[in-house]
Structure formats: C-alpha cells, structure tokens
Amino acid sequence: MALDVKRFVARFVEEARDHLRRLEEGLAQLAVAGVSDAEAVNALFRSAHTVKGSSRMLKLVAITDTAHKVEDVLGALRDGSLAPSPELCRLLQRGVDAMAAQVDQVAETGTPSDPDPQLLAALAQAVSGEAAASPPPPQSAAASTDASPAEVKLKTAETVRVQLSKLDELIKLMGEVVSSHARLRQRLVDLRGFERAGDSLGGRLQGFARDLRDDVFTQELLMDELHKKALIMRMLPLSIVFEPAARMIRDLGRSLGKDVQCVTAGADIELDRQLIDRLSDPIVHLLRNGVDHGLEPQAARQAAGKPGHGTLRLSARQDGGFVVVEVADDGGGLPVDFIRDKAIKKGLLTAEQAAAMTETEIIDLIFLPGFSTSSIITDVSGRGVGMDVVKRVVVDELQGSIAVESRPGQGTTFLLRLPLSLAVMRVLLVQAGGQSFGFTAQYVAHLLDVPPERVITVAERKAVIIDNEFVPVVPLAELVGLNAAPPKRAGCLLVVIKVRNEKLALMVDQLLDERDMVIKPLPEHLRGLPLVSGMVMTGRNDLVSVLQASTLLDAARRQRGVAGPSEAVSGARVRVLVVDDSLNTREIEKDVLEAHGYQVTLAEDGLDGLAKARSSEFDAVLTDVEMPNMDGFTLTAALRKEEAYAHVPIIIITSREKEEDKRRGIQVGADAYIVKGDFDQSNLVDTLKSLLG
C-alpha cells in the first residue's frame, strides 16, 4: 500500500514536541530538586522511549539515535546505577535540545540533520558512569523551538481544517447541551408531580405539560443529531495508526534478520481522535513484541513445518458499539514456563504461589509493571516499559479491555476492545450507602434481583451462583468506604461486573437510571484516583462518580486477602488439586480449602488438571463437570486409569443436579458429588475429611 508519509510526519512532529516539552520540564525539575523521584524519572524515560519509537517508525534515524542515547541515560537513572547531578541534567538537556532542533528540521524540510557525534559519545560515556568531559555545545541547533506547527497539505479539497482545540470546545459545549437537556427532562418530571398534586390548575397545567413534553422530544432529536455530527468531525480512520505501524514492523523484521509480513484489515474503521492518538503506542509495542519475542527464528519455523516468514496480523472489526483491534503473530505462543520462572526470579511471587496458578493467570503476569521477558536488552523491546503501559493505556485511559490468547506453536493474539468514542458512553446509575455511582455499560454483565437465600456463605464470605459459577458478593458501599445501609427491601439487588474473565456481584440499594451520558474527566491532579474513571451529571445537575470496574475487583480481592484466615490453621498440609474453568469458583474453593489448612493447586480445565496431576502428586482432586477441552467426567475416568490416582479421592462439584449425572459421576469413579446449590464450606471440608480418613 502506498504510504502518504506527510500525513504522519505532521503527527510525529506534534507528538514529539509534546514529549520533548515534557522532557524539558522534567529535567528542569530534576536539576533543581536534585532528588530522583522514581515516577518522575520513569515518565521522562517513557517520553524518550516514545520519541525513539515514533521516529524510527518514520525512518528518522538521526532522531532515533539521539533519543536512544538519552533513553539509555534515563534508564540508568531509573534503575539507580546513575545518580542525578546538575552536569548530567545539562547533558540530557543538550540531548533534548538537539532532538528538538532535529524535529524542527523535520517540520520544515522533512529530514533531520545527523546527530552530533560528540553529544552521542558524551551520553554514552555518562551511562558508563564516567564523568562526561563537557564538550563545547554545538553551534548549530539554532532553529527556534517555538516555530509554528508544520503545514500539512491534504490531498482532497473535501476537508476543512479545524483546530483541534476548537473542536474540543464544540464537543464540550455539546456535552453541556446534553446535560442541560437532562435538566429540562427533570423539570417535566417535577411538573407531573404538581399536576397530580393540584386539581385546581388541572386543565392549564396539563396542556403546558404536553407542550413541554413535545418540546423536550424535539430538542432531544435535534441535539442527538448535532452531537453525533460534532463527534464525527473528530473521527479518524485506524489506518493512521495501522499503516505506519505495519511498515515499521516490516523494517524492524529486516533489521532483526527475521522475514516478516504484516497484514492489516479493517483499517477504514473510524475512531474518535482522542482514542487514535493514544492507541499508537500500545499497538506498536504489541507488534514489536510479536516480532521480537513471538516469531521464532526462520530455521525453527521451518523445522516446525511453518512457512519461513512470520506473519503479523493487525486487524479491526466492529462489535456493537465497540471496536476490537487484534494484534496477532503466528509464532510459538507465549512461553508459559519461562514467564512463571521469571516471575519467581523477580520475586513477584513465590514458587508455591506460581505452582497453584493456571496458565491464564501466568500469562496475565506479563501485564505487571517491570515485567519484561527479553533476557537481553535490545534496541527493540525488553525494556520493561511494556505490557504494563499497554494495559494502563487500554484499560484506564481508553476505557477498553485487553485479552490474550496464546496457542503453543501457533501464535499469540492480543485483543483490544475499545469504545468508538470516549465522549459519550452508556452509563448505569445506582445508589449505595446513600450516594449515587455510575458504571460504564461494558463492564456490567448482569443485573440481578435475587431472594436473600440465593446469597450463600462460603469461607465466611458471601457468594452467588450465576451460570454455574461462584461469584463473590460484596456491598458496593463497603468497597468505596461508606457505611452499608441496612437493607430496606426483601431481595438483594446485585450489579454483576465483569473484567476479562473475573466477575464480582456488587450489592446496591437501588437502580437509578441507564442512559448515554457525557463522561467528564476529573481535574488533572485527581486522575490518579484508582476508583473513579470520570464523572457524569444527572438530571438534577448532581455529579456522580463513574467507578473503575477493575479497581473494584482488586479492592474486593484485597478485602478477601485481609479477611482470610492465616495459613497455619492446621499442621497437615494435604495437597488438593482444584479443577474448574471459572476463575471465581476456583478462587472461592481455594479460599475455603486454604482456610482449613489445605495446600491448593489450581487448574483451569480437564486437560490442564490432568497434566498437573501427572506432573505432581495430590492427595485429593476437586473438579467441575462442564469445562472446555476436557470435562470433569472424562478427567475423573482418565485419572482413575493412572496408577497414582487409582485410589485418590475425587470430588465432583457441579450445578448439575440430575440423578443421571450423579450416577455417571460415580460410574466414572468419583468418590463424592456435591451440587453447587447446596454448597457450603463445611459440606466440602467434611466430605474431604471423611474421604481422606
């Protein structure tokens, strides 16, 4: 595909200037304060890293070289092998200035001048720890940094150029109109109240209410249309991100000696520019990882019967009000054992914890900060500014979700699910602990009104069974630090939120509303608040916090951890294998068993369970029935054929209550059959105790 570089150069210049400005400010602070605030240095490092990456994308090698050297020094500052000093800050500043001059040259002529070899040498020397002999500053680099933004010549005349800030203002104004309309609608509700109250004014009021209703309706139609039009003005095709990324990846493959093909699909899908701008970094990072870690060397590929050239697929498709972006490679899949070992080596978890984790959970470790699987630092990736940043951008900033699918020998696919626009989202409003809260609709899996007896107590905490899965129940008020009001109603009102494959049922007092709403950002200094992703305004003009689903799940997990009884309940460390495809169910069973002193290992399906049972020894096995790859009946039958498991107790825990299922369970060799509906911890533990003798 022919690439119109000009389109991207202008974007690069804008973005690079932004990052260079941040570098400049950050360095100034570092020079004054003289202390290294880890997060500040990290932010500088990321800025340098981004300039390096995006300049490479456009083959602006001269800038890449300088940025790389600056990044090296900042990397050394970050890991503490260098201490900040005024000299060092000056040197870094020179690097930043040189880049700024180069960027200006790109804006004017399209090509940057070559990097100053003295500067590069001085930066390299600084990394090695030697005091840099301060060379005289170069006379060049005189280009003014505040040059006006580059002009971009668009090919067609069907477009109008609008300054982005103006467009942002228009959209913000539209948001206000939407909010004011909501107030108008509230007036209508109030008016109906009057109408019911007083008969005297009856006739006149009725007529007025009808007119007002019509007005509100007409305005709503107009306003929706206007809002859509305004938003569309800010939409850009994904090709803006896809095209340069694909080209960069092909070049990168060549530089690494890997023959790489990069195919794109769905690049004409349009997203809000707010998303497009922030999507580039995560996608480029995922693609680089694909080339660097995902694709095997050519010889290994041919030996495995695959084509010699690796393929990266970058595609997008629409899914309801969302876009799913897939970044896939046809490499060897994620090295699960390697990831596990590395996590242990880095002290992120103990060997015992690691052994109890399922494959999916191990794969999720790559999203932890500081986790980078490349054992040598290359120019490409392996820096540890990686998957954690990808996750943060996608989940926290773009209100999306990220999932990984890895098939050994066949490749890895990252799925990013993103809203089309961040300006308006479907929001569910609820009340809990006397306050109102919002949830963006993509995280809400179910709304349930269940009788209290369906909320069962497992391991001293509440849970409810939804679709054959234990889902923990927590009062929302408790998670956000409010006092839970005593229930005013007979049933339990539950909002079940879902992030990736984990669910949590939040007990709320009332459902208030569900509507498309304008999400307003918090003031900048509060953006770090993990619980709140933004605020919406209700018809009564009240501000309501929109809660971050992933943080609520974390908080609920922490609460469990604190409330959980200590390990040393009983001296007998009986080893139990728990096999269930539901993360929540596994976790709950694990908690119950650990509370009673058992040592628990988890497996996510029958095959995983069988492999774990074979590779290690267990005193008992607990399994679900319905699971992918291998069901619980088959697993039980298979285990009975193994010599080591011929007599080990096997307990089937399922929601299948039919007699024939129970019979089948016993036939294949299970010792006990527990129906999830009757599940309580004593039942499970007593059964286990009696079976173990």
Partner 1 sequence: MTENENGDDLTLDQVLAIRRGAAGPVVNVDEPLVKLVVFVLNGDWFAFHGDRVKEVLSDCPVYFLPGCPPSLEGVINVRGDIESVLSLRSVLRYPPAAPAAGSRVLLGQGADLRSGLRVDSVEEVMDVPQSLIQAPPHTIPDHLRPLVLGIVAFHGHMVTLLDMDRLLADYRAGAL
Distance CA 433, CA 413 (A): 41
Distance CA 520, CA 424 (A): 9
We find the least distance from the C-beta atom of residue 194 to partner 1, in angstroms, to be 24
Closer CB to partner 1, residue 175 or residue 332?
Answer: 175
| DSSP run (H or E) holding 676 | none
We find the least distance from the C-beta atom of residue 543 to partner 1, in angstroms, to be 4
Contact 67, 50 (CB under 8 A): no
Rg (CA), the chain: 29
Binding piece for partner 1, criterion CB under 8 A, among 273-281, 527-535, 581-589, 623-631: 527-535
Does 175 bind partner 1 (CB under 8 A)? Our answer is: yes
Cα 354 to chain center, whole Å? 22
Binding piece for partner 1, criterion CB under 8 A, among 197-205, 369-377, 518-526, 564-572: 518-526
Strands (DSSP E) found in 568-619: 575-579, 599-603
Contact 603, 646 (CB under 8 A): no
| DSSP run (H or E) holding 116 | none
Does 535 bind partner 1 (CB under 8 A)? Our answer is: yes
Secondary structure (3-state) at 432 = strand
Per-residue tokens: 595? 């509370």
Size of the site for partner 1 (CB under 8 A): 29
Contact 9, 106 (CB under 8 A): yes
We find the least distance from the C-beta atom of residue 477 to partner 1, in angstroms, to be 10
Binding piece for partner 1, criterion CB under 8 A, among 2-10, 210-218, 528-536, 646-654: 528-536
Does 481 bind partner 1 (CB under 8 A)? Our answer is: yes
We find the least distance from the C-beta atom of residue 38 to partner 1, in angstroms, to be 14
Task: Choose, by CB under 8 A, the member of 129, 198, 451, 523 that binds partner 1.
Answer: 523
Does 172 bind partner 1 (CB under 8 A)? Our answer is: yes
We find the least distance from the C-beta atom of residue 545 to partner 1, in angstroms, to be 6
Per-residue tokens: 594? 């650990």
Does 179 bind partner 1 (CB under 8 A)? Our answer is: yes
Does 108 bind partner 1 (CB under 8 A)? Our answer is: no
Closer CB to partner 1, residue 77 or residue 546?
Answer: 546
Give all strands of the β-sheet with 650-654 in edge-to-edge order.
599-603, 575-579, 620-623, 650-654, 672-675
Phi and psi dihedrals of 427, rounded to 5?
-130, 135
Task: Choose, by CB under 8 A, the member of 543, 572, 611, 646 that binds partner 1.
Answer: 543
We find the least distance from the C-beta atom of residue 402 to partner 1, in angstroms, to be 23
Does 435 bind partner 1 (CB under 8 A)? Our answer is: yes
490 by Cβ neighbours in 10 Å (0-12 / 13-18 / 19+) ranks as: exposed
Task: Choose, by CB under 8 A, the member of 91, 252, 458, 537 that binds partner 1.
Answer: 537
We find the least distance from the C-beta atom of residue 551 to partner 1, in angstroms, to be 8
- Cα distances (Å, whole numbers) of residue 170 to 37, 84, 162, 234: 38, 44, 11, 11
Task: Choose, by CB under 8 A, the member of 135, 320, 370, 521 that binds partner 1.
Answer: 521
Phi and psi dihedrals of 481, rounded to 5?
80, 30
Contact 477, 483 (CB under 8 A): yes
Collect all residues with Cβ–Cβ distance below 8 Å to 227 and sequence separation of at least 6: 174, 177, 178, 424
Does 9 bind partner 1 (CB under 8 A)? Our answer is: no
Task: Choose, by CB under 8 A, the member of 216, 512, 522, 692 that binds partner 1.
Answer: 522
Closer CB to partner 1, residue 394 or residue 480?
Answer: 480
Residues 358-377: x where in contact with partner 1 by CB under 8 A, - otherwise, as a string:
--------------------
Dihedral, CA of residue 191, residue 192, residue 196 and residue 198, to nearest 10: 20
| DSSP run (H or E) holding 236 | strand 235-237
Closer CB to partner 1, residue 32 or residue 569?
Answer: 32
Distance CA 67, CA 48 (A): 6
Distance CA 375, CA 346 (A): 12
Binding to partner 1, residues 234-293 (CB under 8 A)? none
Task: Choose, by CB under 8 A, the member of 437, 439, 618, 645 that binds partner 1.
Answer: 437
Task: Choose, by CB under 8 A, the member of 524, 643, 659, 660 that binds partner 1.
Answer: 524
Task: Choose, by CB under 8 A, the member of 64, 545, 550, 585 that binds partner 1.
Answer: 545
Task: Choose, by CB under 8 A, the member of 192, 278, 500, 520 that binds partner 1.
Answer: 520
Contact 596, 624 (CB under 8 A): no
Closer CB to partner 1, residue 18 or residue 352?
Answer: 18
Residues lying near partner 1 in the complex (CB under 8 A) = 172, 175-176, 179, 435, 437, 480-482, 520-526, 529-532, 535, 537, 541-545, 547, 551
